[in-house]
Amino acid sequence: MTELRDRRYLVTGGSRGIGRAIAEALSSRGARVVITGRDASVAERTAKEIGAHAVAADVGEETDCVRSVREAADALGGLDGLVNNAGIGEFMPVEKLDADKFRRVFAVNVLGPAIMTREVIPHLRKAGGGDIVNISSTSGLKGGKNSTIYSSSKFALRSMTESWQAELRPDDIRVILVNPSYVQTEFGGAPAPTELKPKFLRAEDIAHAVVGVLTMERRGFVPEVTVFATNPF
């Protein structure tokens, strides 16, 4: 088993929801963690609560991606892993498609992870290898009603993951795709659920899956993990 203690991770969108749960799970196992979030005050508060370092950044902006990797590497003395978790969703019928919203989702869900990965690769190579975890969705496996924008962005993330796996394995860099099904969070701007349904997935279930694949001995890796609720019916 690979120990996570003292390994250095950057988690995008780590101030809330799945990103926070992943960052907290890594930190609780002794990893050193930097989180990003668009709201500086929320990111700082979360970082204090989970024992991490915060960088205010919007992964939909290239300059923010470049800066956040640089600041994370400076804060931790290098990087061993990146979790591309930050993501947004827009849902509408195709005949009402909004081009600006389409571009914004792709800027955050597709170009953002690509730029973050581009910037982190030199740090992982310097460390002798590392991990890139892309948080996708079951919407990246099968399209659905009103999901033209969101699903296509997650299909693109899956394709990029497969491309990076082919490119980066010779550098001992493992690239892993995680596909959560519906998770009870404030995703999409919805308020945080006041009462969690016991049979529905929670953010910590996705964090458990991420920790599981990261702790596998480095001679192997899991290319893709999909997480469904066992019996939400």
How far apart CA 186 and CA 15 sit, in angstroms, is 12
Burial group, residue 2, by CB count within 10 angstroms (0-12, 13-18, 19+): exposed
24 contacts 48 by C-beta, under 8 angstroms: no
Catalytic annotation, pick one of 10, 13, 150, 178: 150
Return the closest-CA partner of residue 45 out of 8, 81, 71, 20: 20
Count of all residues that appear for the chain in the document: 233
Is 150 among the residues known to form the active site?
A: yes
Which of 138, 149, 143, 173 minimizes the C-alpha distance to 96?
149
C-alpha 109/C-alpha 104 separation (Å) is: 8
Active site residues: 150
